[in-house]
Amino acid sequence: MKVEPNILVGMLKSSILRKTTRNPTIDPVAINFDEDAVKIYQLDNTNVLLILHKYNPSLFKEYKAFGLRKVSNDALDYFLDSFKSDAEVSLDFTNDTLIVEGARERLKYKLSTADAKIYDKEVKETDVGLLPPKLADSITASYLIDINEIASPVLLNGDEIIFTYNEKELIASVSSSSGSTTYDKKVGFIKNKVKSSGKVSLTTDMARRLIDVLNGQVWITFTSEPMVFSQIDKQRNLTFIVATKAVV
């Protein structure tokens, strides 16, 4: 199996959750090299973020359906500064090892044996991302936006962003820690689908995480419980299901 290093790093960067002091243990990343797609799943142990990603095998110069493999959360660290001078690298698997080889570098990475949740039979492909059926049935509103619309440093300056949505507009708001200052931004959107209005909050830490790995046009979807951020094109379907708080 052969792929450009930047494509491999991009897959890992968008799919791997970093350990933090608030979340010191995280399940391994499950990567399923299936016949029709590369499917990547990860759930953080606090159940705040579920990652469901699907990549077209055409991203690889040579592709082989190796089946399910699991990597630990430090995998990205080994790839960020390696194979930079290579136009392509080869990937191969033994029973417990991933072998990545470039022109002058060779990496043998021990695969994880820990349990990891697989969602193959529990999600369906929708216009706004890869969603469990119950979640797809509970959608209240979806907006197609440019992710830069919510990348404003002012919006990311507080502890949380409050989204207020209805058929006519989507507003992102942030307040200072003292509550003395409030900033509201009417988020521009390309199109929307709205069944009902609502108001939820998202932590700015999570917003930064998503803004860092998403680019261009992104669906923001509100449901009866979590929010969904998804970037969809012919090559990839990147879906992030994020826990939020309802705001009265």
pLDDT tens for the chain, 248 residues long, are 999 999 988 888 888 766 554 554 456 788 999 999 999 988 876 668 888 999 999 999 999 999 988 888 777 777 878 888 899 999 999 888 999 999 999 999 888 887 766 666 678 899 999 998 889 999 999 999 999 999 989 889 888 999 999 999 999 999 876 666 789 999 999 999 999 999 999 999 889 989 988 999 999 999 998 999 999 999 999 999 998 887 86
CATH code at 172? Answer: 3.70.10.10
Question: What is the model's pLDDT at position 217?
Answer: 96
Question: What is the model's pLDDT at position 100?
Answer: 93
What percentage of the chain's residues is helix, strand, coil (to nearest 5)? 20, 45, 40
Same domain? 114 vs 83: yes
Question: What is the model's pLDDT at position 164?
Answer: 96
Question: What is the model's pLDDT at position 187?
Answer: 97
Residue 129 domain boundaries: 123-246
Domain termination residue (choose one: 57, 89, 120): 120
Question: What is the model's pLDDT at position 21?
Answer: 46
The dihedral built from the CA positions of residue 10, 54, 51 and 42, taken in this order, carries a sign that is negative
Domain termination residue (choose one: 120, 149, 165): 120
- Residue of 170, 174, 126, 181 lying closest to 154 (CA atoms): 174
Same domain? 10 vs 116: yes
- Residue of 192, 184, 188 lying closest to 166 (CA atoms): 192
As for how many domains the chain has, the answer is 2
Same domain? 115 vs 136: no
Q: In whole angstroms, give the CA distance from residue 128 to residue 213.
A: 17
- Residue of 129, 132, 122 lying closest to 217 (CA atoms): 129
The answer to whether 150 and 207 have CB atoms below 8 angstroms apart is yes
Same domain? 23 vs 113: yes
Q: In whole angstroms, give the CA distance from residue 88 to residue 141.
A: 41
Same domain? 110 vs 135: no
Q: In whole angstroms, give the CA distance from residue 15 to residue 29.
A: 8
